[in-house]
């Protein structure tokens, strides 16, 4: 699959740009304490609402301006990158583990296990995931751990359905029959033979879901139900800047642009991986 990805990259210039943006976001997130010019929570009311460097009234050392409390917008965007990446990756990983386990067990064993898990999936789909996450976090309170846990446990259904469909088509293949014949147990067959054959669709779903989790985190933080207020996030910056859009647009615009560019880059990359994994299904 690695060779196929490289071939797709040579043809897909948009994917090259997208991967470059993702790499930049990852570097900024990992090294934010070294790259950020200021402490993201350092307040200086004498410098509040200073514009970006190209506008009159800007303050040297604050290239993207300051917010209502005089905090550096650039530093807060950089530190917000860390939260978005952590939530997006951790919640996606949790969703993938839970959904893959449910899908493999449902598809391999069938019977009552499949009925129970698939009915649970139907119940989950009956509630909008963001609304369910909103309700749970409103009860539990803002917390980075709870945010990852709730988003992870509300995103498993897509994995479960895709994995179950793949396992249903694989469980009757010759290599699975041969594994049963030599005495492999169900868990051994699932671990050694089925899971390795569904890595490609899992990678595709995971790539696309990272973007969804980032947007969900930003939405909850915008509503004040994401992480604690002391932790800068892109969503909380949008919430802070909504009241100053006319006079201090930069507070919301730069955080919104970070969300848009990151999710767009992830989606473009996910589309490329999807085409590589199943070109017949997506290149008609």
CATH number of residue 81's parent domain: 1.10.3720.10
SS3 51: coil
- Identify the residue whose tokens are 């997208």: 18
Q: What is the DSSP letter of 193?
A: I
Whether the Cβ atoms of residue 49 and residue 73 lie closer than 8 Å to each other: no
Following CA atoms 186, 125, 86, 216 in sequence, which dihedral angle do they give, to the nearest 10 degrees? 170
Closest CA to 232 of 17, 11, 80: 80
pLDDT at residue 282, rounded to an integer: 38
Q: Number of folded domains in the chain?
A: 1
Burial class (CB in 10 A: 0-12, 13-18, 19+), 111: exposed
Q: CA-to-CA distance for 47 and 66, rounded, in angstroms?
A: 7
Q: Which domain holds residue 258?
A: 2-282
Query: Phi, psi at residue 12, to the nearest 5°?
Result: -105, 95
3-state secondary structure of 232: coil
* pLDDT higher than threshold 90 for residue 73: yes
Q: At 8, is the pLDDT very low, low, confident or very high (cuts 50, 70, 90)?
A: low
Helices and strands per DSSP (H, E), number in the chain: 14, 0
Q: How far apart are CA 191 and CA 176, in angstroms?
A: 12
Whether the per-residue pLDDT at 284 is higher than 70: the answer is no
Highest mean pLDDT of the ranges 20-29, 118-127, 167-176: 20-29
Q: Could you tell me the two tokens for 62?
A: 């604050």
Phi, psi of 92 (to 5 degrees): -65, -40
């Amino acid at each position: 699959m690695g060779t196929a990805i490289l071939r797709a990259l040579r043809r897909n210039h948009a994917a090259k740009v997208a991967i470059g943006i993702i790499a930049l976001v990852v570097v900024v997130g990992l090294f934010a304490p070294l790259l950020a010019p200021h402490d993201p929570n350092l307040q200086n009311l004498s410098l509040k609402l200073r514009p970006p460097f190209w506008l009159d009234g800007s303050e040297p050392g604050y290239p993207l301006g300051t917010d209502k409390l005089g905090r550096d917008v650039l530093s807060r965007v950089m530190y917000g990158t860390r939260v978005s990446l952590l939530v997006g990756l951790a919640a996606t990983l949790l969703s993938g583990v839970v959904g893959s386990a449910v899908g493999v067990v449902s598809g391999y064993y069938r019977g009552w296990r499949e009925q129970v898990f698939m009915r649970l999936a139907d119940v989950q789909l009956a509630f909008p995931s963001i609304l369910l996450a909103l309700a749970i976090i409103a009860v539990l309170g803002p917390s980075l751990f709870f945010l990852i846990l709730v988003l992870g446990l509300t995103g498993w259904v897509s994995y479960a359905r895709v994995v179950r469909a793949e396992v249903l088509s694989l469980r009757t293949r010759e290599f699975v029959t041969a594994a049963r014949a030599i005495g492999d147990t169900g868990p051994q067959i699932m671990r050694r033979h089925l899971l390795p054959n569904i890595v490609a669709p899992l990678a595709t779903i995971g790539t696309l879901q990272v973007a969804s989790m980032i947007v969900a985190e930003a939405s909850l933080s915008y509503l004040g139900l994401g992480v604690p207020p002391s932790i800068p996030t892109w969503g909380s910056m949008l919430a802070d800047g909504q009241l100053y859009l006319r006079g201090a647009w930069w507070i919301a615009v730069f955080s919104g642009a970070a969300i848009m560019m990151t999710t767009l880059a992830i989606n473009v990359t996910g589309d490329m991986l999807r085409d590589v994994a199943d070109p017949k299904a997506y290149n008609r």
